Amino acid sequence: MSKQENIKKYYKRQSIFYDVTRPIFLFGRNEIVNLISNEKPKGNLLEIGCGTGYLLKKLSILTDLELTGIDISLDMLNKAKGKNLDSVRWIESSMMDFDTEEKFDIILLSYVFTLDLGSVNNQLNKIKKLLKPDGSLFIVDFHRYGSKLYKKYMNWHGIEMSSELIEMLENEFKTKNKIIRKSYGGLWEYFIYKGINVND
């Protein structure tokens, strides 16, 4: 079974209770929404891996951005569509298969890269093509394990953390903001990142 098929299968089950369970360990999501909305942004925003629409619902209230969400899981998208956010465009697609000529002012990813760390280089190249010159990239994701036991647990859920992820982002984008925080006394760390798409 391919990585994408595994992800679809996993989120088919998780979609049932995703919105109830994720606030207890997907930290930083509200903070990154506030970072975006506080900038009074204009234009369009793409969320890659939008899931059940948690972040886009908040952004639809706090900003005037044109919002698009893509996700590989139809089950998660159906949950998002059930929130009746008529101002949001929902598209079933993986990041790499997303085929559009449209360029975005802002791209947002929340806990996406650590689902498939081995593909990050290709994913970053795709993001740079989708993002306008001088466009902003916002990311919240896992950073580092705090214990071997937690590493084993998260690997079982298909999550692979690495502090090298931030280094890869900084190699491809101009870093404007980087925050690393501990969760549950250091059981794991997560980060919040903002980068700008600059020409080489």
Q: Would you list the domain boundaries of the chain?
A: 3-196
Residue 176 has a pLDDT of 97
Identify the residue with better confidence: 157 or 186.
186
Q: How would residue 189 be classed by pLDDT, with cut points 50, 70 and 90?
A: very high
- Mean of pLDDT values over 95-124: 95
Q: Which residues pair with 89 in a beta bridge?
A: 68
Identify the residue with better confidence: 150 or 32.
32
- Write the CB contacts of 141 (distance below 8 Å, at least 6 apart in sequence): 109, 110, 111, 112, 113, 114, 165, 190, 191, 193
Q: Which of 34-43, 115-124, 131-140, 141-150 has the lowest mean pLDDT?
A: 141-150
Residue 30 token pair: 């509200």
Q: How would residue 1 be classed by pLDDT, with cut points 50, 70 and 90?
A: low
For residue 70, pLDDT over 80 is answered with yes
Cα maximum dimension of the chain: 44
Q: Domain 3-196: state its class.
A: alpha beta
Q: Which of 12-16, 121-125, 170-174, 191-195 has the lowest mean pLDDT?
A: 12-16
The answer to whether 113 and 48 are in contact (CB under 8 A) is: no
The Cα–Cα gap between 152 and 160 comes to 10
Residue 27 has a pLDDT of 94
Percent of the chain with pLDDT over 70: 99
The answer to whether 54 and 28 are in contact (CB under 8 A) is: no
Residue type, 152: K
Residue 153 has a pLDDT of 80
Q: What angle do CA 137, 155, 30 make, to 5 degrees?
A: 35
Residue 194 token pair: 């903002």
Residue 35 has a pLDDT of 97
* Angle between helices 164-172 and 120-130 in degrees, nearest 10: 30
Among residues 117, 99, 98, which one has the least CA distance to residue 49? 98
The Cα–Cα gap between 71 and 28 comes to 20
Residue 199 has a pLDDT of 72
pLDDT in tens, 84-106: 888 899 999 999 999 999 999 99
> Which DSSP string do the residues of 145-183 spell out, in sequence order?
ES-HHHHHHHHHTT----THHHHHHHHHSEEEEEEEEEE
The Cα-based distances of 198 to 45, 136, 153, 174 in angstroms read 18, 10, 37, 7
Residue 81 token pair: 């569509």
Among residues 37, 49, 35, which one has the least CA distance to residue 98? 49
